[in-house]
Amino acid sequence: MSDQVTESYIDGASVSSAETYPNIDPSTGATLGDVARAGDKEIDQAATAARRASRGWRATTPEQRSDLLSALAGLIDREVETLARLESEDSGKPLAQARNDTRVCARYFRFYSRVIESYYGLSIPLRPDLHVYTRREPLGVAGSIVAWNYPMQLFGRGVAPAIATGNCTVLKPADETPRTAVYLARLATEAGFPPGVINVVTGLGPEAGAALAAHPGIDHLSFVGSTEVGSLIAGAAARRVAPVTLELGGKSAHLVFGDADVERAATVIANAILQNAGQTCSAGSRVLVHERVHDELLQRIADRFATVSIGPGISDPDLGPLVSRKQQDRVRGYVESAKEAREAAIVCGGTVAEPDGITGGAYFAPTLIDGVDPAAKIASEEIFGPVLTVTTFGAEDQAVALANGTDYALMGAVWTKDLARAHRVAAQVDGGQIYVNTYGAGGGVELPFGGFRKSGYGREKGVEALDAYTATKTIVVQL
Ligand code: NAD
């Protein structure tokens, strides 16, 4: 990788492409250098290298793989400052959040280095004269197409369980955030991984991404991004009958009941939507609040939003820019649509921001919108910005119906002191993770994660992710 061009990393070496595209710093609008614009040729090169490497890699013992994953985790921790700076510059996220993301990425490699040594098949007592057992076998080559919101966390989430189970990988980072993925792949070589086990191909979604999705040598695909692109990828994989894990975002609701600890709820809800400027698939972007505590909750959230510092990610404010001007336009469009709706009221924010007179950045002020019609676009579509919509309810069943009233079903939170209600509502709200009197649990490497409905299918994270990268073989022996 030269200073100016971020290139793909294939088979243990940098690979250039005939064309490049600019990497734009969303904090300023300036360029951070160029990125190799790979396509079919580089994807084929990476898939071929991964296939070749997989012959040796799948024959390694869990202990050998565990040692390498653990060594890589150590190198990621060693490089925390460099990786965090690259991530913050590429994505605009505040430096402290980027440091945390680096540690979570290391944690994925450490976690899977540990659990892989106790990931077993079964012995099945079918008949006394038959010895029956199962093996969990790697699928071969796993492809990952990931989003720009948590580039390093998504690298760890996709690559660590795939290689721990004996697969080799080809990852395409998001167009906007390529640099940490390439850096991590180079660190893997330093950790001792054989060439071809971890490959990174940079480029644009419809080119490198589409080529990876369609490549016949990719045995499993995991995707994080929009529902629209996710369904394209699932379609491409279906044509050659390859399994897919899709994580497609959400419109997760906080259900704040009349007996909730409102002060705590307000703090957690505000911080969750400020994190990464609201560009989090699991952001709790819808507040459903009981009429009794509505005013207090809104006042507390508005007070928090009023104290937020905004600025370039690298200066470590509370709130950095959105990932791009394109994303800023998208968020502005949603908020403008709310302004046109009669009932909705912008309690605070609602506009782009220009901290310190920076006009080229992609900033958006933290925004609270009250009185939102559940049928409105802003209440049902993913905004992906620091924007909270608020809808009031009176009865518990009404709150549950509102929570389940979008096409998405990724996460949710129940805020109440009533234990019976907490469990009852947690069971009724659709979503892959439901929290009670808290939210997010710090990234949750250990917690199975994924959606229902248009939030996607399959589960990543936790021990359960190992099943996605393996298939069961049953062996029957006549004694
Ligand atoms: P996207 O779905 O277009 O991009 C996600 C990834 O898919 C990127 O790596 C991109 O290069 C790749 N990609 C794009 N087109 C492709 C194609 N035709 N074939 C293969 N790969 C392709 O998302 P976006 O445009 O960056 O963001 C749009 C919206 O998607 C956001 O506003 C947000 O609502 C949602 N989103 C959700 C998540 C999430 O965490 N679930 C992450 C990012 C974006």
**pLDDT over 50 (residue 77):** yes
User: Ligand 1: which residue has its CA nearest to atom 43?
Assistant: 225
By most ligand atoms within 8 Å of CB, the mutation choice from 229, 381, 406, 452 for ligand 1 is 229
User: Ligand 1: which residue has its CA nearest to atom 11?
Assistant: 205
Section 183-200 average pLDDT: 98
Output phi, psi for 75, to 5 deg. Answer: -70, -35
From the alpha carbon of 204, which atom of ligand 1 is closest? 11
Question: What is the CA angle 362-182-184, rounded to 5?
Answer: 105
The reported pLDDT for the residue numbered 442 is 64
Tell how far the Cα of 177 is from the centroid of ligand 1, in angstroms. Answer: 12
What confidence tier does 443 reach under pLDDT thresholds 50, 70, 90?
low
Whole-number Å distance between alpha carbons of 273 and 384: 9
| pLDDT tens digit sequence for 204-224 | 999 999 999 999 999 999 999
Output phi, psi for 147, to 5 deg. Answer: -90, 175
User: pLDDT over 90 for what percent of the chain?
Assistant: 96
From the alpha carbon of 247, which atom of ligand 1 is closest? 41
Residue among 84, 80, 106, 107 at smallest CA distance from 95: 84
**pLDDT over 90 (residue 320):** yes
**pLDDT over 50 (residue 272):** yes
What confidence tier does 369 reach under pLDDT thresholds 50, 70, 90?
very high
User: Ligand 1: which residue has its CA nearest to atom 27?
Assistant: 226
Section 95-102 average pLDDT: 97
From the alpha carbon of 212, which atom of ligand 1 is closest? 20
Query: Which residues are identified as catalytic?
Result: 172, 247, 281, 382
Q: Per residue in 219-254, is it b (16+ CB within 10 Å) or e — as a string?
A: bbbbbbbebebbebbbebbeeeebbbbbbbbbbbbb
| pLDDT tens digit sequence for 32-68 | 999 999 999 999 999 999 999 999 999 999 999 999 9
What confidence tier does 183 reach under pLDDT thresholds 50, 70, 90?
very high
The residue count of the chain comes to 479
User: Ligand 1: which residue has its CA nearest to atom 13?
Assistant: 205
User: Ligand 1: which residue has its CA nearest to atom 25?
Assistant: 226
User: pLDDT over 70 for what percent of the chain?
Assistant: 99
Residues with CB under 6 A from ligand 1: 145-149, 172, 174-175, 205-206, 209-210, 213, 224-226, 229, 232-233, 247-249, 281, 330, 382, 384
The reported pLDDT for the residue numbered 441 is 66
Tell how far the Cα of 248 is from the centroid of ligand 1, in angstroms. Answer: 9
The reported pLDDT for the residue numbered 3 is 57
Tell how far the Cα of 208 is from the centroid of ligand 1, in angstroms. Answer: 13
**pLDDT over 70 (residue 2):** no
From the alpha carbon of 229, which atom of ligand 1 is closest? 2
| pLDDT tens digit sequence for 130-152 | 999 999 999 999 999 999 999 99
